[in-house]
Structure 1
Amino acid sequence: MDIHESTSGVPAPPVSAVGYAGVLSELLPIALWRADAEGRIVEWSLAAQDLLGYLPEQVVGRCATPLLVPEANWELADDLERRVHAGEAVMGTLPARHRDGHLVPMEMWICPTADPHGETGILVIAVETSAVLRMRDSLAALEGLFRQSPIGLAILGRDLRYARVNDALARMNGVSAAEHLGKRPTELVPGVNAVALERVMQAVLDNGRAVVDVRGTGRTPADPDRDRIWSCSYAPLLDGGGGSLGLIASLIDITDGQQAQLQAERARQRFALLAEAGTRIGTTLDLRQTAAEVVEVLVPRLADMADVLMLEEVLGPDGAGVSAHGVVRRMAARFPDPSAPTAKLAVGMTAQIPIGSVYEHVVVEGRPMNLTLADIPVLIPAPGAEQLRTYLSTEVGSARLVPLVARGRALGAVVVSRIRGREPFDEQDCVLIDELVGRAALNIDNARMYTSQREAALALQRSLTLKPLPDVAGLELMGRYLPASAHEVGGDWFDVIPLPGGRTGLVIGDVMGHGIRAAATMGQLRTAVRTLAGQDLPPDRMLSALDAAVADLGENEMATCVYAVHDPAAGRCLIARAGHPPPAVVCADGTVTFVDGPAGTPLGAGGRHFRVAQVPLPPESLLVLYTDGLIETRERDIDQGMGLLAQALRHPCRSLEEVCDRVIGRLLPSSAQDDVAVLIARALPRRRPAGRGSGRRPPHSPARNARPL
């Protein structure tokens, strides 16, 4: 295990690594850190650095509890520390705080150890919980394969000695599984052509290429009086880095002639198809694409026709109200026969589930079923589909209806069929079809939920960002919103709110994160701003109230915001910021400045103390509010972006539409890397009562509370 170690309070990094545990590093990285009697970290392993993000120099010498333990668990941490100092070792699942703030669930062993000063310190050995679960699932899958497979399976090391065999192979050889371990095939079954088989296995180890269907022949203790034949396949067993660990052997007894040989080939193909399905189904979170991948796996290798139907109720925005007597929508279908009248089977078409039909029983009971020829036309109830029903009745030789069930709920069903002349589905075919559809159901449900959430988020965002801006006193307005992706929504927004006395509230904000949660938080903030604006709060108190509102949404919620109040009578704006980039002010002569003063803390950070900048806004000048996606990209920093923005704004005489086009064209010549919102307000000339003078020059120059670029 690689660690940084020191005998003093703040150790220096080691000259060289202690070593590298390759297997543990690949399968289950183990983090280690040690604290002295005062709770200060004195050792920090490389695995801890990888899992929690802290470099050794960032943690060594610091107290472990406030750095790594969530505040809610400090009391528990103190209790565990007292128990360990008393000599007790404890184990459990506890979260640790990553350097970026998120929590990492970890399986921990905490035990006493001597610190550099000879006092009792603490040693923590931890692994990420998800890594443990992945290892558990992988081992469970391997265990299930070895125990349940009717095929003889074995794992052999690089020395071609058995490391593990299943019961099927032990029965074939007539030797117990325990007696296989540590022996070579030539030692275990000398009555078989084991020498030739070992040469094949050695070639697999040497060149790294699998070999399929090598014939093993001879007699074993299981049947010493009869020659038998096996189909043997060998594949290299590689570690995570591509290094050879040995090989996997699978053996099928094909003694009973051509039929057995055919069965072996079919079994191999089924296993290959099952493995292939795991990589071909669910490559995206697009629902139609996932459904299409299901039929592409099934046809033509396993069936001649396939049809994915989903209950219309689960495709709604909330996926609620599943009913067995509902409507199904065809999400994907494949019918390779060009002569088939498949117009009534087009993707996207809907049909009512016939009451009392086999389809209803399959969906309600969640059990797959083979279909009779009389069942098939019933699944096509559409009027005018007589030709199709006749075709299916005459051309289909066998069919199976498998329910799509995921997370305990029915989503629909998959129909697979073979034409006459092809061998009907046998028992093994049905098992494979059911397994494929069962696995695909989870991928389809994931895509369904993602699609539903994304559409809901997009609808919410469109409703909040695409509304027309109101007509307000003293200002001409223009706003733009550019999403970074058509598939994922963000939390950028802007709004304009008429206030008493002819004033106007201008707000722009950016909720951190993406997806429906960010869009929902954005909607809540927008509503909060409008509600608080009704109380006519000044900008600093508005942001303080919003900070409290964001804090109530959850400790991980955070947003930046600018709130400005324009007073056309005074010819000025009062502006407060919460961690947001400074607005730009453009005078009529093209001078560009940025609002000066502290940016404030983001909403949700608990600052709640915000300063107000007073910014003159004479007629024909512009106030430009924007989110950081406009000025900051992977290729440039914020200062460079603000410089480009200033250059783009030095022509304020254009229409606001042209100003927006120029800004976006100069700063975002290609697609945006992050969501972008822009709100531009132009001050209009003030209307004066008859008999009054032409007015005074504003008492404050445009440079007050503004920073020139």
Structure 2
Amino acid sequence: MAGAIDHGVPTHDAIGDVTDLLTASAGHAGVFEELLPLALWVADGDGRLVQWSLAAQDLLGHTPEQMLGRDAKQALVPEENHQLADRLAGSVRTGAAVVARLPVRHRDGTLVDMEMWHCPLADARGRTGMLAIAADTSAVEGMRDALAALEGLFEQSPVGLAMLGPDLRYLRVNEALARMHGVAVDDHVGRRVTDIAPGTAVLETVMRRVLDRGEAVVDYRYTSDGPDPALRRTWSCSYAPLLGGAGRRVGVIASLIDVTREQRAHLEAERARRRLALLAEAGAQMGSTLDLRQTAEEVVRVLVPRLADSADVQLLEEAVAPDETAASAHGVARRAAASFVDPRAPAEHLEVGMIMQVPPGSEYERIIDAGRPMNLYLDDVDRLIPGSESEPLRAYLYARVGSARLVPLVARGTVLGAVVVTRTRDREPFDDQDILLIDELVARAALNIDNARMYSHERDAALTLQRSLMDPCLPDVGGLELTGRYLPAGEHEVGGDWFDAIALPGGRTALVIGDVMGHGIHAAAVMGQLRTAVRTLARRGTAPDQVLRFLDAVVADLGENEMATCLYAVHDEASGHCLIASAGHPPPLVADRRGTVAFLDGAAGPPLGVGRQDWHVRHLNLEPGSLLLTYTDGLIESRGTDLEQGMHRLARAVHDPGLPLERICDDLLADLVPGAADDDVAVLLARALPR
């Protein structure tokens, strides 16, 4: 590795400056130090080491003190490679730089395979020496493979790849990322992400966090902005810190994958799941009541806010009004329920209960008559909402509503009204799946509203029938002061409970109270038949137990599923004596003028309609001032209260029999039935007058 001086070899002074620079910077080679550590040493014309770098010490273990002055060949080259070392030295003496792979002896005796660059260098005496620059072959190969892999990855990967410096400016991007951005590769270098894709400041924030914390971020989803949803793209962005020497963070490596299709599929699946959940919830919520107003409100609660920003349920008066008033309500719509999320909606034009006249020949009338839903557009607003008084509503719709649909409420071939749903401009317009869901929900709502409408009509008819059959005005009779009450079950149920008082010859009075099983028109009709039969039998002077036998036959003739209870009593004015027979009815309560309260002893006989005619007559002496209270089971039985508890409550409620009967009756009902009754309630009160 030693040799004589050769002409053309750089002088010691010329190359010495370079050597001094290399020596001075040995161990501090910047990028080389970080990516590929290089050992450097210098031998003079005699082949003796005159310089030994710190990097050489790190790679081979020898300190400068151990190496300086030693023969380089003897110290570093194994004996079997001495001839090869001599040939390389001869080439260097000719002024050539030689690159070769040689094994070099480590301090621990092992051999390190090294890639070496041998350069001629004049020593202090002007002879040709040698500068050796060496790197561990395995490190060189690793770097070569890494660079090849990086090149292949950047050139061939379909994934968008980029390297960014600590200032988050692009150092390198691949063609895939350039295509994603629509910007050439060269035009990326030196520019920031926001320069290439405006509106991506959030991505710079994420990358800055990666740099600051040294933690990778994987699969950060970013969706580009744009007025057209079809052109928006969704990216899966992953960032990792780019590490230099000693783990120093020198930049960011970024990968981007276009996941728009997968994201849309995921969103569609999520929307489908939400739609199914909404349908299931609608099935549970809508139709829970037969009240027309509450049913309309249920429709609004299902639609807003998850599916729409507003819902307006409008019912045609002629469809929901009683038959006798339907003709006069033609073309009139009433807002039954509404909800508007947007606080800027003109509330004074959207109040529940507002009545609107459908303009004859208008677009609204044609849609309602056809019974077919349609999307509404701004051009339709003037035709759908005519009139100068509606100008604030039209202005609001023009300014705020971005999507709307009008769906007629059609059930069993009858158009009941319409539902208008909207979304504001802040939200995506209705898509095809939204429209299908809206139409399905409104179709279900129409059936529920129609059920409530028909039930309301039936209830009104039953109540009318019951009132016509049961005269609430009790007669003036001798020896008794009378009053009574009838309460239907809640606001929507009419049943077969009734009471009656019949003046009989000889100063006698028949008192009747009964309860027909079931509700509705049928129960009211059965009640009417029993009431008529009782009046007929009473006027013939029929004994109480015989009256019940005849009534049992009447109920049996109506069908095997019919059943009723009845209490029949006859009071004699002269003696104050009462004869009482009961067919399955709750026992009457008796309170004397001192306030002592008791229920009439003796078990009630079987209900009417079961065919067992074993009713017994009980005797009661009703003293002047005493109170006889008869009632149906709806007064003492309710959810959470059994018969015995109800009777105790009733006994406590009759605390002062001397009060006016009307007051006693009102107090009883207020105490025992404070809200809507679970069942019909009938009460008949009789107080004995002084004889």
Number of the residue aligned with 2:482: 477
Distance (Å, rounded) in 1 between the aligned partners of 2:318 and 2:277? 32
Offset, 1:420? 4.8
Distance (Å, rounded) in 1 between the aligned partners of 2:367 and 2:473? 50
Task: Mark the CA change 1:466 to 1:278 in structure 2 (over 3 Å): closer, same or farther.
Answer: farther
Distance (Å, rounded) in 2 between the aligned partners of 1:406 and 1:677? 37
Number of the residue aligned with 2:279: 277
Amino acid paired to 1:412: G
Task: Mark the CA change 1:527 to 1:265 in structure 2 (over 3 Å): closer, same or farther.
Answer: farther
Offset, 1:316? 2.8
Amino acid paired to 1:606: G
Task: Mark the CA change 1:366 to 1:651 in structure 2 (over 3 Å): closer, same or farther.
Answer: closer
Offset, 1:633? 7.0
The structure 1 residue matched to 2:559, chosen from 554, 576, 581, is: 554
Distance (Å, rounded) in 1 between the aligned partners of 2:442 and 2:651? 58
Distance (Å, rounded) in 2 between the aligned partners of 1:671 and 1:399? 39
CA contact (8 A) 1:270 1:432 kept: no
Task: Mark the CA change 1:410 to 1:553 in structure 2 (over 3 Å): closer, same or farther.
Answer: farther
CA contact (8 A) 2:482 2:661 kept: yes
TM-score, normalised with respect to structure 2: 0.53
Amino acid paired to 1:427: D
TM-score, normalised with respect to structure 1: 0.52
The structure 1 residue matched to 2:334, chosen from 311, 329, 335, is: 329
Distance (Å, rounded) in 1 between the aligned partners of 2:615 and 2:459? 35
Matches within 5 A, 1:51-62: none
Matches within 5 A, 1:68-467: 258=260, 261-262=263-264, 265-266=267-268, 268-280=270-282, 281-282=285-286, 284-285=288-289, 286-317=291-322, 326-381=331-386, 384-393=389-398, 395-420=400-425, 423-454=428-459, 467=472
- Aligned residue pairs total 438
What percentage of residue pairs aligned between the two structures are identical? 63
CA contact (8 A) 2:563 2:610 kept: yes
Task: Please state whether the residue corresponding to 1:429 is helix, strand or coil.
Answer: helix
Please list the CA deviations of residues 337-363 of structure 1 after superposition, one character each: whole Å capped at 9, or x if unmatched.
333324233212222333333333333
When you count helix as a share of all residues, which structure comes out higher?
2
Offset, 1:450? 4.1
Distance (Å, rounded) in 1 between the aligned partners of 2:672 and 2:404? 59
Task: Please state whether the residue corresponding to 2:342 is helix, strand or coil.
Answer: coil
Task: Mark the CA change 1:319 to 1:360 in structure 2 (over 3 Å): closer, same or farther.
Answer: farther
Number of the residue aligned with 2:547: 542
Matches within 5 A, 1:642-653: 652-653=657-658
Amino acid paired to 2:275: L
Of 296-305 and 500-509, more deviation after overlay is shown by: 296-305
Offset, 1:279? 0.8
CA contact (8 A) 2:456 2:492 kept: no
Number of the residue aligned with 1:102: none
Offset, 1:649? 6.2
Greater C-alpha radius of gyration: 2
Offset, 1:658? 6.3
CA RMSD of aligned residues (A): 4.4
Stretches of structure 2 that go unaligned for 5 or more consecutive residues are 1-218, 222-233, 237-256
Matches within 5 A, 1:463-612: 467-481=472-486, 485-486=490-491, 488-514=493-519, 517-530=522-535, 532-587=537-592, 595=600, 599-608=604-613, 610-612=615-617
Please list the CA deviations of residues 228-287 of structure 1 after superposition, one character each: whole Å capped at 9, or x if unmatched.
x999xxxxxxxxxxxxxxxxxxxxxxx997377446524532441342233144162143
Offset, 1:475? 0.7
CA contact (8 A) 1:324 1:360 kept: no
Offset, 1:478? 3.3
Number of the residue aligned with 2:632: 627
Distance (Å, rounded) in 1 between the aligned partners of 2:393 and 2:641? 61
CA contact (8 A) 1:511 1:522 kept: yes
Distance (Å, rounded) in 2 between the aligned partners of 1:665 and 1:348? 31
Distance (Å, rounded) in 2 between the aligned partners of 1:592 and 1:299? 56
Please list the CA deviations of residues 322-348 of structure 1 after superposition, one character each: whole Å capped at 9, or x if unmatched.
999632221222233333324233212
Amino acid paired to 2:437: L
Please list the CA deviations of residues 580-633 of structure 1 after superposition, one character each: whole Å capped at 9, or x if unmatched.
233344555666665556633211223355444444334333333233455567
Distance (Å, rounded) in 2 between the aligned partners of 1:258 and 1:627? 69
CA contact (8 A) 1:627 1:677 kept: yes
Distance (Å, rounded) in 2 between the aligned partners of 1:484 and 1:468? 21
Task: Please state whether the residue corresponding to 1:384 is helix, strand or coil.
Answer: helix
Task: Please state whether the residue corresponding to 1:565 is helix, strand or coil.
Answer: strand
Task: Mark the CA change 1:627 to 1:350 in structure 2 (over 3 Å): closer, same or farther.
Answer: same
Amino acid paired to 2:277: A
Task: Mark the CA change 1:296 to 1:574 in structure 2 (over 3 Å): closer, same or farther.
Answer: closer
Stretches of structure 1 that go unaligned for 5 or more consecutive residues are 1-212, 216-228, 232-254, 687-709
Offset, 1:506? 0.9
Task: Please state whether the residue corresponding to 2:359 is helix, strand or coil.
Answer: coil
Task: Mark the CA change 1:654 to 1:382 in structure 2 (over 3 Å): closer, same or farther.
Answer: same
Distance (Å, rounded) in 2 between the aligned partners of 1:401 and 1:663? 50
CA contact (8 A) 1:598 1:611 kept: no
Of 402-411 and 391-400, more deviation after overlay is shown by: 391-400
Task: Mark the CA change 1:625 to 1:300 in structure 2 (over 3 Å): closer, same or farther.
Answer: closer
CA contact (8 A) 1:324 1:363 kept: no
Amino acid paired to 1:602: P
